[in-house]
Amino acid sequence: MADRAQFREGEIVAERLSKRFGPAVAVVDVSFSVARGEVVGFLGPNGAGKSTTLRILTGVFPPSSGRASVAGHDVVTDALAARRSLGYLPENAALYGEMPVGSYLRFVAEMKDLPARGVPAAVARAMADAGVERVSQRLIGTLSKGYRQRVGIAQALLGDPPVLLLDEPTSGLDPEQVTEIRALIRGLGAERTVILSTHILSEVESICSRVIIMHRGRVLAVDAPARLEERLRPYREVVVETVGPVAQTLSTLGAIEHVVATDLLDQPREGVAVIVVRTEHGSDVRQAIARALADAGIGLRELRPLSMTLEEIFLTLVGETSASAGERDAAQDGVNPARAGAAR
């Protein structure tokens, strides 16, 4: 019973999911959970296994092993209840271009087996939430790509599901449309649990509170970007631009509590120096830096934190995984990894 209770924690739970298509393995031992009200980014390059994992959650594919739940319903043994609890926007949504928006959404509502009496209100609510009311009478095929994506989101919202799975929702959109769809997703995330699958890192940074990073069918990390940075970088870093004697500046900065190192980035010009100050995680020394420099009579021109971007975090994790995989493959082939690297 304890194991089952743990399995049901969160609106979306995946536990050791794997999926094989004959000899090909698409997803390997994938585990994560998403709490109610979270917007979580599903991040990885094309072919990482993101879409396959989402299709397992939606019931399109059964897992080869492992299990998953949506809103407490097992996606295999309680598939119908799980499907009723989620709205899904696939990467290439099946929209019927010859149908008006309103008619298409009424058709989808009937396909979802919504109560007939409630269909008009459900369609009106979905159109309002997705921002397609003013094009309700237009043929879907005449709409811009941005509005077609909105229609796809509207069909996912029909039935007011507590969980939304959005697969590459801004793919192929122009910058203005991307901004609009991202704002729409932020609004939807205020009331629902959302997984946003994408390979666009800036999209995750602007919308999501946590990321699930996948590569080659495996989950590399599940966490907030700031905590991933702490894991990958042993120190916090602050860039300081100063005017004054360099030796005195370095000595002053090095004496501040929690500072572990200082690095001069380049040769100072006209008394201006750019210095990276490394500090312990959990300590913010920016005020102490400003105070110490002022007390020493050293001018402060700039003070800013230096953080890893999500792209740097992703590339670091992928690089670590690729290096480990290369060492495993070399060991299996009886090759010394160091010599193999030298040979390349």
Please name the residue that has the structure tokens 């994560």: 32
User: Looking at residue 5, what is its pLDDT?
Assistant: 43
The CATH number assigned to the domain holding 48 equals 3.40.50.300
**Does residue 4 surpass a pLDDT of 60?**
no
- Given a contact cutoff of 8 angstroms between Cβ atoms, the answer to whether 17 and 56 are in contact is yes
> Are 161 and 200 in the same domain?
yes
* Residues 162 and 106 reside in one and the same domain: yes
Residue 221 shares a structural domain with residue 243 = no
Residue 237 has pLDDT above 50, yes or no: yes
pLDDT of residue 275: 92
Give Cα separations from 214 to 1, 42, 121, 330, 339 (angstroms): 30, 7, 39, 23, 29
Tell me the C-alpha distance between 343 and 291, whole Å.
53
Percent of the chain with pLDDT over 90: 54
Q: Pick from 161, 195, 229: which residue ends a domain?
A: 229
- Segments in the chain forming alpha helices (H): 2-7, 50-58, 79-84, 101-111, 119-130, 145-157, 175-188, 201-207, 225-232, 246-254, 286-295, 310-332, 337-343
Query: What's the whole-model pTM score?
Result: 0.73
* Average pLDDT of the chain to the nearest whole number: 85
Beta carbons within 8 Å of 307's beta carbon, 6+ residues apart: 226, 229
Residue located via tokens 């990894």:
337
Read off φ and ψ for residue 302, nearest 5 degrees: -155, 145
Q: How many domains does the chain have?
A: 3
Co-location of 238 and 221 in the same domain: no
Q: Are residues 11 and 70 in the same domain?
A: yes
Please determine, for residue 288, whether its predicted confidence score (pLDDT) is greater than 80.
yes
**Residue 330 above 50 pLDDT?**
no
Contact 130, 154 (CB under 8 A): yes
Burial class (CB in 10 A: 0-12, 13-18, 19+), 3: exposed
Percent of the chain with pLDDT over 70: 90
Tell me: do 78 and 95 sit in the same domain.
Answer: yes
When pLDDT is cut at 50, 70 and 90, the band that residue 10 belongs to is: low
Determine the Cα–Cα distance for residues 75 and 310; give it in Å rounded to an integer. Answer: 31
Least reliable range by pLDDT among 77-81, 147-151, 325-329, 337-341: 337-341
d(CA 47, CA 69): 23
Instruction: State residue 324's pLDDT score.
Output: 54
Residues 6+ apart with CB under 8 A from 120: 106
Assess whether 248 and 170 both reside in one domain: no
Tell which wins on pLDDT, 228 or 28: 28
Residues 151 and 224 in one domain: yes
Q: What is the pLDDT of residue 320?
A: 67
Residue 199 near residue 46, CB atoms below 8 Å: yes
> First and final CA of the chain: distance in angstroms?
53
Q: Taking phi first (over 0 means left), then psi (-120 to 50 degrees means alpha), and beta for anything else, what does residue 104 get? A: alpha
Report how far residue 181's alpha carbon sits from residue 174's, in angstroms, rounded to the nearest whole number.
Answer: 11
> In CATH, what number is assigned to the domain containing residue 268?
3.30.70.3190
189 and 317 inside one domain: no
Residue 123 pLDDT exceeds 70:
yes
Please tell me whether residues 69 and 89 are part of one structural domain.
yes
Residues 21, 26: Cα–Cα separation, whole Å: 7
pLDDT in tens, 15-51: 999 999 999 999 999 999 998 889 999 888 888 899 8
Given a cut of 80, whether residue 103 has pLDDT beyond it is yes
pLDDT band at 326 (very low <50, low <70, confident <90, very high): very low
Contacts of 148 (CB under 8 A, 6+ apart): 93, 95, 140
Confidence of residue 185 (pLDDT cuts 50, 70, 90): confident
pLDDT at 184: 86
Return the structure tokens found at 125.
């609510």
User: For residue 26, what pLDDT is reported?
Assistant: 93
Domain extent, residue 328, equals 310-343
Last residue of a domain, one of 229, 261, 296: 229
Binned at pLDDT 50, 70 and 90, residue 293 comes out as: very high
339 pLDDT more than 50: no
Average pLDDT over residues 244-272: 88
DSSP code at position 115:
-
For 78, the 3-state DSSP assignment is coil
Same domain, yes or no: 153 and 211: yes
Q: Above 80 in pLDDT, residue 230?
A: no
Q: Is there a contact between 53 and 30 (Cβ–Cβ < 8 Å)? A: yes
Among 197, 229, 261, the domain boundary falls at: 229
Of the pLDDT bands very low, low, confident and very high (cuts 50, 70, 90), residue 203 is: confident
- Do the strands 272-279 and 259-264 form a parallel or antiparallel pair, or are they unpaired? antiparallel
Per-residue model confidence as pLDDT tens digits over 65-101? 999 999 999 999 999 999 999 999 988 888 999 999 9
Q: Are residues 302 and 314 in the same domain?
A: no
Q: Find the range with the poorest average confidence among 24-33, 287-296, 312-321.
A: 312-321
What's the average model confidence in pLDDT over 137-153? 93
Residues 189-205 have a mean pLDDT of 85
pLDDT of residue 280: 81
